[in-house]
Structure 1
Amino acid sequence: MSRKRLLALAALSAIVAPAFAGTSALAAPADDSAFRVLVFSKTAAFRHDSIPAGVAAIQKLGEENGFAVDATEDANAFTDANLAKYQAVVFLSTTGDPVSQPEQKASFERYIRNGGGFAGVHAASDSGYTWSWYGGLVGSYFRNHPAQQNATVKMVGQGAASNRGLPNRWNRWDEWYNFRGNPRDAGVRVLAELDETSYNPGSGAMGDHPIAWCHRYDGGRSWYTGMGHTKESFSDPLFLKHLLGGIKMAAGAASFPCDPHGD
């Protein structure tokens, strides 16, 4: 090849190369555009009438934010092959023992151990009382609740996607769970806590009262919020920000700053 032709090729390379700098043969997908979640809302005890609104809201969040959503109330979905399709499983106000068969439980445990994500909403903590592994995953079990009322939520989990865009002191109406044990004792990072002076917590007053938290558990990611009892929650823009951030955290599509000693 002549020297003139070599110089011409070099000049062409100098023009074209910047357009491809930093790319690879297979471009990585956008951080929130290529994941799939399973919404599981089976109930074996009390059934919340907000579940249909919750499923629809999560489906809409998926449409608006570029992730796929499947929904089921069939625990037969808990197989190794099926769960492998999902980056997170959302337990939406499940109650009682919704995953009852040993092989279903074993598949979900393997899913989490392989790095899967769990997002629990409201009555997810009113589930699996005979499944101690699940109790560790969710962080604490439901104990009781007072009448629905307004309360002030203190958002304390700086840097967490589920807190982003929310007021530091968030006054809202919900059904406020008291828990059997303080989830801090399970090694969670608390993201939101209730100001018990702002409402009547009833006989289960906790003093230190976490209401949303996250932690790494048995190889996977777990995020939980005690909010979301009412149908109105799922049309509340602030709650939807909270829920979207939590789903993305559980799915690994947002950072997971869940060290219990974090700020």
Structure 2
Amino acid sequence: MTRILLFTRTTGFRHDSIPAGVRTMRELHDAAENTEDPAAFTPDNLARFAAVVFLNTNGDVLTDAGRTAFEAYVRGGGGFLGVHSAAATEYGWAFYRELVGAWFDRHPPVQPARITVAEPRHPATAHLPTTWERVDEWYDFRSRPDARVLLRADESTYRGGTMGGDHPLAWCHERCGGRSFYTALGHTVESYAEPEFRAHLAGALRWVARAR
């Protein structure tokens, strides 16, 4: 079975939902290993995994050696899945910005909103209705990703969004050598009990790991 590395280290804000996220990812993939140790990012260790998940990481979480090893891993075909505050991670590392697609800028308070499915022909979105209503923390980004956008926020359904009619929430690309997927969803503990969100994560994980 393909192995997945769950990385949950934070050096800034720490989400209360991380334990729920780890449990969910382990339920979705039996061969998932969780660590907060940046020493796990070595060429030999990373070679054991089909994909690495940055699950609500925050701040600078890797050493220089770890950054070198992780970039080589991705450029060699390794998969990456970033969840929520993975976009608020490693702001000073240009490769990571290219990999994750966009950096977090700001967010309004947690509230209900409507999501529109921009691309229904992806394993992470094929199960979703055309519009999906749920509660989360709705990220604005410093830029729009150069990527295949899968989900967008409908800013007319909540207060505080600043990106306008084109407000990406989830996207994917293969620009860096391996497959990269990012979803801005997953702030709340309750998210990880939602069947639709769990299926969203499962589809994203299958895609980045090239699993069927």
TM range (shorter): over 0.9
Q: Matched residue of 1:197: which SS?
A: helix
Provide, for residues 157-183 of structure 1, a one-character-per-residue CA deviation record: whole Å limited to 9, x for no partner: 122000021111000000000000011
1:192 aligns with 2:151: yes
Aligned to 2:49: 86
- Give how far 1:207 is off: 3.0
Aligned to 1:59: 26
Q: Matched residue of 1:133: which SS?
A: helix
1:233 aligns with 2:196: no
State which structure, 1 or 2, has the greater radius of gyration over its C-alpha atoms. Answer: 1
Provide, for residues 12-62 of structure 1, a one-character-per-residue CA deviation record: whole Å limited to 9, x for no partner: xxxxxxxxxxxxxxxxxxxxxx21100000001000000000001100111
Aligned to 1:144: 106
Q: Is the CA contact (8 Å cut-off) linking 1:178 and 1:206 kept in structure 2?
A: no
Query: Normalising to structure 2: TM-score of the pair?
Result: 0.97
Aligned to 2:66: 104
Q: Comparing both structures, which one devotes a greater share of its residues to helix?
A: 1
2:76 to 114, 125, 138: 114
> In structure 2, what is the Cα distance between the partners aligned to 1:217 and 1:106?
18
- Give how far 1:91 is off: 0.2
> In structure 2, what is the Cα distance between the partners aligned to 1:97 and 1:105?
10
Aligned to 2:86: 124
- Give how far 1:218 is off: 1.8
AA paired with 1:92?
L
Q: Tell me, which stretches of 5 or more residues in structure 1 are unaligned?
A: 1-33, 255-263
Q: Is the CA contact (8 Å cut-off) linking 1:164 and 1:241 kept in structure 2?
A: no
1:40 aligns with 2:7: yes
Query: Normalising to structure 1: TM-score of the pair?
Result: 0.79
Alignment RMSD: 1.0
Q: Tell me, which stretches of 5 or more residues in structure 2 are unaligned?
A: none
- The alignment of Structure 1 onto Structure 2 pairs a total of residues equal to 212
2:38 to 75, 79, 88: 75
2:167 to 209, 212, 215: 209
AA paired with 2:20?
A
